[in-house]
Amino acid sequence: MNTINRHCRNRNEKGHVGVFIFLTVFGTFLLNGNGIWHSEAADTRKVELILVPAGTFTMGSHRRAADEKPAHKVYLDAYYIGKYEVTNAEYHEFWLENGSAKNTPEDFTHLPHIGEWPARAQQLPNYPVVGLSWHAAQAYAKWKGMRLPTEAEWEKAARGYTDRTWPWGNAIEPHANTDADNDGYQNQLAPVGRFPAGKSYYGAMDMAGNVWEWTADWYSDVYYFQSPKQNPKGPDVGSWRVIRGGSWIDTLTRCSTTFRFYLYPSLKNSFVGFRLAKTAAQK
Partner 1 sequence: MKIYHRKEYRLRTGLKIGGDKSRPLCCRSTAIHVNRFCLILLIGLYLCLPSSTLSAVHSQYVQHVEQGFIHLFRGDNSGAISAFEAALALEPHHFEILHYLGMAYAQEEFWNKAVETYQRALETLQTETGGDADETNPQTASFGVKIEVLYSLGVVYFKLDNWNEAVDVLQEVVKFSPGHARGHEVLGKSFVKLRRYSEAVDSLTAALALRPDAAGIYQELGTAYLNLKRYPEAIESFDNAIRFGPPGYAEPHYGLGTAYLRLGDREKSRAALLLFQRLQKEFAEYERLTRLTRSEPENLDGWAGVAKLLMRQKNYGEAIRVFRKCIELAPDNANFYHGLSQAFINLNYPKPAEEAARQALQLAEAAPNSTPPTVLAVLYNTLGSTYAMQGDVQRAINVFRKAIELDGEQPYYHLNLAKLYESLGKPALAQEHYRAYEHYKSTLSEQK
Distance between CA 101 and CA 105 in Å, rounded? 8
- How many residues lie near partner 1 (CB under 8 A)? 64
Task: Report which residue type is found at 195.
Answer: F
Positions in 195-224 near partner 1 (CB under 8 A): 218, 220-223
Does residue 251 touch partner 1 according to CB under 8 A? Answer: yes
Residue 42 or 111 having the CB closest to partner 1: 111
- Of 252, 258, 273, 274, which one interacts with partner 1 (CB under 8 A)? 252
- Of 270, 273, 274, 275, which one interacts with partner 1 (CB under 8 A)? 270
- Residue 37 near residue 202, CB atoms below 8 Å: yes
CA distances from 232 to 153, 155, 181, 277 (A): 9, 12, 37, 15
φ/ψ (deg, to 5) at 251: -75, 160
- 108 closest CA partner among 126, 123, 120: 120
Does residue 240 touch partner 1 according to CB under 8 A? Answer: yes
CA distances from 53 to 46, 86, 94, 146, 231 (A): 20, 22, 29, 17, 13
Positions in 60-119 near partner 1 (CB under 8 A): 69-70, 106-111
Taking the complex as a whole, the smallest distance from the CB of residue 238 to partner 1 amounts, in Å, to 6
Beta strand 212-218 pairing with 55-59 = unpaired
Does residue 266 touch partner 1 according to CB under 8 A? Answer: yes
Using the contact rule CB under 8 A, the part of the chain among 41-49, 82-90, 153-161, 250-258 near partner 1 is 250-258
Does residue 233 touch partner 1 according to CB under 8 A? Answer: no
- Of 171, 197, 228, 230, which one interacts with partner 1 (CB under 8 A)? 171
Q: What is the largest CA-CA distance in the chain?
A: 55
- 234 closest CA partner among 260, 256, 271, 209: 260
Does residue 29 touch partner 1 according to CB under 8 A? Answer: no
| Residues of this chain that bind partner 1 (CB under 8 A) | 1-5, 7-9, 11-19, 21-22, 25-26, 69-70, 106-111, 171-174, 178-183, 218, 220-223, 225-226, 235-240, 249-254, 264, 266-267, 269-271
